[in-house]
Amino acid sequence: MYKYDQIDQQIVTQRVAQYRDQTQRFLAGTLADEDFRALRLRNGLYIQRFAPMLRVSIPYGLLSSAQVRMFARIAREYDKGFGHFTTRQNIQYNWPELAKVPDILELLASVEMHAIQTSGNCIRNVTSDPLSGVARDEIEDPRPWCELVRQWATVHPEFNFLPRKFKIAITGSTADRAAVRVHDIGLIIKHNAAGEMGFEVLVGGGLGRAPSIGQTIYDFVTPHDLLGCLEAILRVYNLEGRRDNIHKARIKFVVKANGVEKFREMVDAEWAASKSYAPVLSDAEIARVKSYFAPPAYEKLPDSDVVTGKGNDFRRWYQQNTRPHKVPGYRAVVVSLKSIKRPPGDITDAQLDAVADITQRYSFNEIRATHDQNLVLADVRQQDLYTVWQELTRIDLATPNVGTLTDMIACPGLDLCSLANARTYTVVDLINERFDDLDYLYDLGEIQLKMSGCMNACGHHHVGHIGILGVDKSGEEWYQVTIGGSPNGKDADLGSVIGRSFKQEEIPDVLERLFRVYLELRQEDERFVDTVRRTGIAPFKAGAYAQANQAA
C-alpha cells in the first residue's frame, strides 16, 4: 500500500498542529462557534446528539495492521471501546471529547492517517473497489489513481469551500463494486480501441434528497489529463453550484438545471481555458505511486479444495464469505461486521486488535474496509482459510451472511445521529430476529438491504434492492420501503417506493410478504432485484399490503 514520504507526513502533521491551534482558540473563546464549525468539520468532527463524532479517513478503504491497531487503541482510550465502519469506507468514533481530538489526530498521524476532509463541503474520501488488485474481472488496479486523486484533493486551495460535499469513486472493473454511478464524480477505468488505459467520467450521481444516477460526460480521459479534467469540473461546480439552498447544492443540480449536454460544454470551455497550466500527471509520478501497489510476494500455489471433509459451518462460511482471487492458491475473505450482536459496521477494540493480528499473519499485513460496512482480507492462502475462519469465529466476525438479507447497511439513526428521524438499529434487530434461518436466507439469495434514518441517505436506501427509510410523522417513527434499487455498474438504479409507510414492528412481516411474492414469481436463479425489475413493483405492492388491508 502507499507509504508516506516526507511531504505526505508533513502535511498531516502540520494539519494536526493547525487544528490544535483552532481547537484551543475555540475553547478559549476567541474563535466563534460558527467559525469553528467549518474548520472542525473539515477535520472530521461533528457535534452529535450526545457527543461529538469523529470520522477518520481510510483512503479508498485500505488499511495496514498497524493502522487497525491504532483504531483499537483510540477506541479504548478515547471512546467507549468501539468504532463504526461507514459506507464511505471510513471509521467513526461516537464518543470522543472535543478537547482531546487533536491528540487523537496526532496518534493517527503517527501511523500515516488523518481525518482531513471527512466532512464539510469539500472533496471527501475517494472510495473504490474493496477487491482492487485481486479481482479476476479487473481491467486495472484503481488504487494508484485513488491515491493520486487523494493527494490532489487534500487541502486543495481552491476547492475547500464548495457549495456542498463532493464524493469521488473509482472502479477498475465493469462489475463496479464502488457504486460509481451514485457519486458526484464516478471514474471507470477502461481501455480504448488502441489498448490504452483511460477513464470514463460520470458526473451528477448522488443519494440524499433528490437522488440521481450519474451521467457520462467524457468517454475517455487519458491518465495525464485526469487532474486537469477534475479541476475543470470542480471549478464549474464551485462557481455555478447553488449556495442559497443546501438541499439543491450538490453538483447533480447543476447538471440537471443545465442538462448534461450544456454541462459538458461548460466543462469543455473551462478545461480548454485552463489547458496551458492545468495539472498534468507525469509518467514519473504515476510510476512512483503505482510502485506502492505492486502485487505482494505471492507464493506459487495450486488452487486447492479446502472444503471437502470439513464441517457444514466452515463450508457455509467459505461459500458466502470468501471470493475468488486472480492468483491461484489464494482467496479474498470478507470479514462480516454483521453479527446479530452488534449494529452493522460496529467493531470493538478487542476485535480490531485481533483483526490486526490475523491481517498480519494471513494477508500480507493489509485489510480493506468496504462500502457495505464489512472488512476484506484480500490475499489469504487457501490453505490458511480454515484457520482464519476459526480465528474469526472466535471473535464473532464470521457470520456466514455476506451478500444475504442480514448483511444490511444501516446508518446509526436516531440512536446517535442528530439528523435522524427514526431509529435504525432496532429495525436491524427485528430483522435479525425474524430472519435467523440461514437456509432460508441462502434460498433468498443475494439481497442488498440498505437502511437510512433520514433522507440524507447515509445508509444508501435508494439503491438498496430493498431500501428502508426512517420518516417522522407527527413525532412518530415510520418507515418507507423501496424495492428494485441497485448501486452497482450498469445495473445501478433507484428503487421505487411501494406505498404508505409502516410502523417499526410491521417491517419483518412486510419483508416476509415481499419474499413470498418473490419466491412465487422467481424464474430459475433470478435475484430478488431482477424479479422486481422484470415484473415491476405491482405484485410486490399487492403482496406487501395484502395482510395490512385485510386487518384494516
Partner 1 sequence: MRKLIKQREIVENTWRHVEEDPNASAIIVPLAQWLTEREALLASGKQIGVKLMPADKVEALKDDAAKLPLIALHFGGLGEGRGYSQAHILRRRYGFTGELRAVGKVQRDQLFVMARCGIDAYELPEGADLNVALTAFDDYTVAYQPGIDTVALHLRRRAG
Residues that bind partner 1 (CB under 8 A): 5-7, 10-11, 14-15, 17-18, 22, 34-35, 38-39, 121, 151-152, 154-163, 235, 238-239, 243, 273-274, 277, 279, 282, 284-285, 288
Q: CA-to-CA distance for 409 and 336, rounded, in angstroms?
A: 12
Strands (E), 264-422: 322-324, 330-335, 346-348, 366-369, 375-381, 409-410
Residue type, 83: G
Query: At 9, phi and psi to the nearest 5?
Result: -65, -45
Q: CA-to-CA distance for 9 and 31, rounded, in angstroms?
A: 27
Residue 148 grid cell: 493520486
Residue type, 378: A
Least separation, in Å, of the C-beta of 153 and partner 1?
A: 8
C-beta of 30 vs 474, nearer to partner 1: 30
Contact by Cβ (8 Å): 94, 84: yes
Contact by Cβ (8 Å): 335, 385: no
Residue type, 192: N
C-beta of 245 vs 549, nearer to partner 1: 245
Residues 6+ apart with CB under 8 A from 53: 45, 46, 47, 92, 93, 94, 96, 416
C-beta of 18 vs 110, nearer to partner 1: 18
Contact by Cβ (8 Å): 466, 511: yes
C-beta of 222 vs 274, nearer to partner 1: 274
Q: Which of 178, 175, 200 is nearest to 188 (CA)?
A: 200
Residue type, 57: S
Least separation, in Å, of the C-beta of 288 and partner 1?
A: 7
Least separation, in Å, of the C-beta of 216 and partner 1?
A: 25
How far apart are the two ends of the chain, measured CA to CA in Å? 59
C-beta of 160 vs 547, nearer to partner 1: 160
Least separation, in Å, of the C-beta of 81 and partner 1?
A: 34
Q: Where are the alpha helices (DSSP H) in 241-308?
A: 251-258, 260-274, 283-291
Residue 263 grid cell: 454541462
Q: CA-to-CA distance for 97 and 520, rounded, in angstroms?
A: 53
Least separation, in Å, of the C-beta of 40 and partner 1?
A: 11
C-beta of 6 vs 245, nearer to partner 1: 6
Least separation, in Å, of the C-beta of 27 and partner 1?
A: 15
Least separation, in Å, of the C-beta of 158 and partner 1?
A: 4
Contact by Cβ (8 Å): 61, 370: yes
Residue 157 grid cell: 486551495
With the CA atoms of 112, 114, 116 and 117 taken in that order, what torsion angle do they form, in degrees rounded to the nearest 10? Answer: 100
Least separation, in Å, of the C-beta of 151 and partner 1?
A: 5
C-beta of 184 vs 477, nearer to partner 1: 184
Q: CA-to-CA distance for 508 and 506, rounded, in angstroms?
A: 6
C-beta of 37 vs 361, nearer to partner 1: 37
C-beta of 132 vs 154, nearer to partner 1: 154
C-beta of 99 vs 239, nearer to partner 1: 239
Least separation, in Å, of the C-beta of 31 and partner 1?
A: 8
Least separation, in Å, of the C-beta of 261 and partner 1?
A: 21
Least separation, in Å, of the C-beta of 182 and partner 1?
A: 24
Ramachandran category for residue 220: left, alpha or beta (phi over 0 → left; psi -120 to 50 → alpha): beta
C-beta of 17 vs 546, nearer to partner 1: 17
Beta bridge partners of 62: 368
Residue type, 247: H
Contact by Cβ (8 Å): 280, 225: yes
Least separation, in Å, of the C-beta of 38 and partner 1?
A: 4
**Number of helices (H) and strands (E), helices first, in the chain?**
17, 21
C-beta of 166 vs 479, nearer to partner 1: 166
C-beta of 136 vs 288, nearer to partner 1: 288
Least separation, in Å, of the C-beta of 155 and partner 1?
A: 7
Q: CA-to-CA distance for 370 and 414, rounded, in angstroms?
A: 23
Helix (H) or strand (E) holding 198: strand 197-203
Residues 6+ apart with CB under 8 A from 349: 72, 73, 75, 76, 81, 82, 83
C-beta of 222 vs 535, nearer to partner 1: 222
Residue 491 grid cell: 445495473
Residue type, 411: C
Least separation, in Å, of the C-beta of 274 and partner 1?
A: 7
